[in-house]
């Protein structure tokens, strides 16, 4: 058995771990080489090159019989637990299946999707949007009870942190936009469709070609109104989308296709997309108020979409 144990992780990866997980993340980074070695030994893996790293360690690998797989290791936390639970529930229906896992240590093997071309590489945005709609419908299912899955209400409750961080104001968030989202969210949760279990982060980089079709990766495992599933698609592909010459037209076109394919009113899709863009901006806001620019630019595109 061969293995590769990286001694130095990319600075962006280390910074992301520090930003999201603090001291717990710093300690996890120290143990990560040991976890990689343990996974390789336990599951008899030959490790390939790591994939682009964000907040999880992800690498291509092969099992002893030559089967191509993906090894994923993350800081044990609520979102990772929800992801692993959701992958098991989806059971390969619209989403890459899990092969084996050590939930306590936050590491698991997934089937490697081949050829693995990202949906983002397709030039036809209408076609990309329709692929995402098809996967959303395949993945979503009745919300189960009693399982450690993320609830959408909890995500959006985090927006209260904006007022706390900026002394009751909205900081870098445009005042009218932020107040509109604050007013919209209670109504959206009350009047949207009944909650389902959905992917929660279904966008151009989390949809890969597999055989003659497409499958999703990296589900958050979120319980909430199904109209929300459009949000991550509307704010991607990062980092160029809101700065494209036809971004406004493209945003309106996406909302029209999502409405047609999923059966939800255009206004409802627009409102959920705008709210998610603002939430995404908050997730990326640093203590000095920077970091929210991209998501806020998309939020304003969505707000101005023609319905």
Residue bearing tokens 């991209």: 294
Q: Say if residues 297 and 278 touch (Cβ distance below 8 Å).
A: no
- Three-class secondary structure of residue 174 per DSSP: coil
Report the pLDDT averaged over residues 103-115. Answer: 97
Q: How confident is the model at residue 126 (pLDDT cuts 50, 70, 90)?
A: very high
Domains delineated in the chain: 11-112 (3.30.200.20), 116-303 (3.90.1200.10)
Provide the strand spans (E) within the chain.
46-50, 56-62, 68-74, 98-102, 107-111, 115-118, 141-142, 150-151, 196-198, 207-210, 213-216, 222-224
User: Tens digits of per-residue pLDDT, 2-57?
Assistant: 444 445 899 999 999 998 899 999 999 999 999 999 999 999 999 999 999 999 99
What predicted TM-score, i.e. pTM, was given to this entire model? 0.94
Query: pLDDT of 286-298, one tens digit each?
Result: 888 999 999 999 9
139-179 pLDDT, tens digit per residue, is 999 999 999 999 999 999 999 999 999 999 999 999 999 99
């Amino acid at each position: 058995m061969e293995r590769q144990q990286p001694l130095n992780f990319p600075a962006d990866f280390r910074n992301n771990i520090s930003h999201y997980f603090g001291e717990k993340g710093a300690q996890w980074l120290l143990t990560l080489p040991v976890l990689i070695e343990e996974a390789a030994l336990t599951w008899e893996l030959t490790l390939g090159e790591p994939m682009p790293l964000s907040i999880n360690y992800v690498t291509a690998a092969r099992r002893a019989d030559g089967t191509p797989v993906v090894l994923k290791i993350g800081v044990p936390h609520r979102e990772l637990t929800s992801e692993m639970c959701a992958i098991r529930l989806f059971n390969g229906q619209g989403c890459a299946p899990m092969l084996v896992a050590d939930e306590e240590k936050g590491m698991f093997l997934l089937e490697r999707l081949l050829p693995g071309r990202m949906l983002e590489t397709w030039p036809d945005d209408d076609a990309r949007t329709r692929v995402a709609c098809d996967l959303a419908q395949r993945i979503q299912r009745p919300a189960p009870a009693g399982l450690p899955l993320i609830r959408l209400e909890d995500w959006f409750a985090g927006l209260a942190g904006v007022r706390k961080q900026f002394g009751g104001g909205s900081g870098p968030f445009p005042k009218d936009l932020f107040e509109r989202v604050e007013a919209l969210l209670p109504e959206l949760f009350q009047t949207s469709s009944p909650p389902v279990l959905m992917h929660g982060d279904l966008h151009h980089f989390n949809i890969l070609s597999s055989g003659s079709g497409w499958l999703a990766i990296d589900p958050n495992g979120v319980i909430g109104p199904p109209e929300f599933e459009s949000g991550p698609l509307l704010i991607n592909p990062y980092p160029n989308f809101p700065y494209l010459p036809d971004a406004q037209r493209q945003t309106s076109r996406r909302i029209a296709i999502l409405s047609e394919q999923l059966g939800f009113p255009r206004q409802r899709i627009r409102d959920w997309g705008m709210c998610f863009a603002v939430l995404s901006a908050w997730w990326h806001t640093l203590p000095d108020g920077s970091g929210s620019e991209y998501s806020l630019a998309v939020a304003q595109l969505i707000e101005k979409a023609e319905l």
